[in-house]
Amino acid sequence: MDKATGAATGEPGAVERLIESRPAAIREILVQLRLVALDSLPSAQEFAYHNAINYKLPEPPGTWICYLAAQRNYVNVGFYFGTQLSDPHKRLEGTGKRMRHVKVRTAEEAGAKELADLLREAWSRCLPES
């Protein structure tokens, strides 16, 4: 991150350092979530910003899709446009105008199909129309 502007720079190793800085239980969840995100968000740009792992479209305007933010006892998977997601399993939380999140408390939850489905839907909704 550029300390002068606060902008994300995609500095090599920043995501790995962020994961390694967390306690073992949270690190395990983050590693699993990262694998699911990388599989569900093809060609997304991954970067560390505000102590979270973020994903956005690679092309301008680079719409931000989601983030993985470690908390004390869980990891939030946040969706910048979460109100647009169908959420058939009622996993999304939040009351804001646009954003929603899922609290993931175990590595097993991180690998759940419902979460991968939400990530894929968020990705597809953010893609520009052809």
Tell me whether the omega of the peptide bond preceding residue 61 falls within 30 degrees of 0, making it cis.
Answer: yes
The pLDDT, as a whole number, for residue 2 is 39
Characterize 2-18 residue by residue with b for buried, 16 or more Cβ atoms within 10 angstroms of its Cβ, and e for exposed.
eeeeeebeeeeebbeeb
The pLDDT tens digits of the residues spanning 60-97 come to 778 999 999 999 999 999 999 999 999 999 999 999 99
Tell me if residue 55 falls in helix, strand or coil. strand
What whole-number distance in Å separates Cα of residue 101 and Cα of residue 5? 27
Mean pLDDT, residues 13-41 = 97
The pLDDT, as a whole number, for residue 23 is 97
- Residue 79 near residue 122 (C-beta atoms within 8 A): yes
Task: Give the chain's domains with CATH numbers.
Answer: 14-126 (3.90.1150)
